[in-house]
Amino acid sequence: MIILDGKTLKEKIIKNLKMKIEQKKIKPGLAVILVGDNPASQIYVKNKVLTAEKIGYLSKKIILSENTSKEKLVEAIKKLNKDSQIHGILIQLPLPSHLKPYEKEINNLIDPKKDVDCFHPENMGRFFLEKKNHDDILAPCTPKGIIRILKEYDIEIAGKKAVVIGRSNIVGKPVALMLCNEEATVTIAHSQTKNLEKITREADILIVAVGKPLFVKKEMVKRGSVVVDVGINRLPNGKVVGDVDFENVKDKCLAISPVPGGIGPMTVASLMENLLIAYNHQLT
Ligand code: GUN
């Protein structure tokens, strides 16, 4: 059984990015906006900023209080859109409850050229229209990281049956498209899917993004399959686990991604790659 080690691959990607920007006079600049004090978001933001600094990017962390008004947040985005030192902007989600109804509207205010999350309809549209996965266009970070790690471990995708559990705009839908571009036959399953186990047991590649701790058990996976766990859940005892019951499932797999240390670091690595892509688009 192979462990898909995202932590190590992230380090390799960082090293490569560091080399690519070493000679550049103007450094790529990343701005991360965090509204409120969600503890998980605080950790993710810290991680993104530290990784950016490790590469040698310029980084800017903008922390706004929990009760920040929509107007104040809009103002912060507009300022960053105009800031020539900043090439990538991301707003850490989730937003506090009073801003949730405006999430889409707020994200759409980010200059598409600086949209390193690839949430803007213009970037999502461009991404959707590609027939192959390219390294030089912005793509959603988690799906991009998943394809990258499968390739790193020489996991065959073409002709395989892939099942994605989850249909979010950030993970489920775009990863299904990317797998399809890699010539897999893809099924998207979700909360209303009947007979889920029958479908997942046919998967050569199973991508799990449901947000339910330890949801996938060994009865749900095919022997010799590749299982990719996108979940990050904190149990009441403080332990962080994925959507897959790793210990229960691992011996049935050809390869499996752990949590932590699997897709989480790959998402950050992809964000760092997206920043260089956005920078190159803006400076050339
Ligand atoms: N919150 C959870 N995942 C993400 C992500 O990929 N981007 C942003 N901005 N927030 C998130």
* Amino acid making up residue 184: A
Q: What is the mean pLDDT of residues 258-273?
A: 98
Supply the pLDDT for residue 124: 98
252 plus 147 within the same structural domain:
yes
E-only strand ranges, 43-190: 58-64, 88-91, 161-165, 185-189
**pLDDT averaged over the chain?**
97
Helical segments of 33-102, H only: 39-55, 70-82
- Residues ≥6 apart with Cβ < 8 Å to 51: 10, 14, 268, 269, 272
| Assigned domain for 134 exists | no
Pairwise CA distance, residues 87 & 116, whole Å: 9
Out of 49, 89, 93, 146, give the residue to mutate to test ligand 1, the one with the largest number of ligand atoms within 8 Å of its CB. 93
100 and 168 inside one domain? no
Please give the angle made by the CA atoms of 146, 202 and 194, to the nearest 5 degrees: 100
**The CATH number of the domain where 91 resides is what?**
3.40.50.10860
The label of the residue with tokens 């890699």 reads: 182
Which residues span the domain enclosing 30?
26-114
Residue 119 lies in a domain: no
Of 134, 102, 131, 99, the C-alpha closest to 118 is: 134
Shared domain for 154 and 217, answered yes or no, is yes
- The reply to whether 187 falls in a domain is yes
Ligand 1 centroid, distance to 140 Cα (angstroms)? 10
Residue 202 lies in a domain: yes
Are 145 and 225 members of one domain? Answer: yes
For residues 86 and 164, membership in a common domain is answered with no
Q: How many domains does the chain contain in total? A: 2
**Which is the closest atom of ligand 1 to the Cα of 140?**
6
In this structure, is residue 219 part of a structural domain?
yes
Residue from 33, 77, 92 whose mutation best tests the ligand 1 pocket (most atoms within 8 A of CB):
92
Does residue 86 share a domain with residue 47? yes
Centre of ligand 1 to C-alpha 145, Å, is 13
Report yes or no on 135 lying in a domain. no
Total residues found in the chain within this entry: 284
Does residue 284 register a pLDDT over 90? no
Residue type, 84: S
- The amino acid present at 110, given as its one-letter code, is I
pLDDT more than 90, % of the chain: 100
Quick check: is 276 in a domain?
no
274: part of which helix (H) or strand (E)? helix 263-283
CATH assignment at residue 211: 3.40.50.720
255 confidence band (pLDDT: 50, 70, 90): very high
Q: Same domain for 46 and 110? A: yes
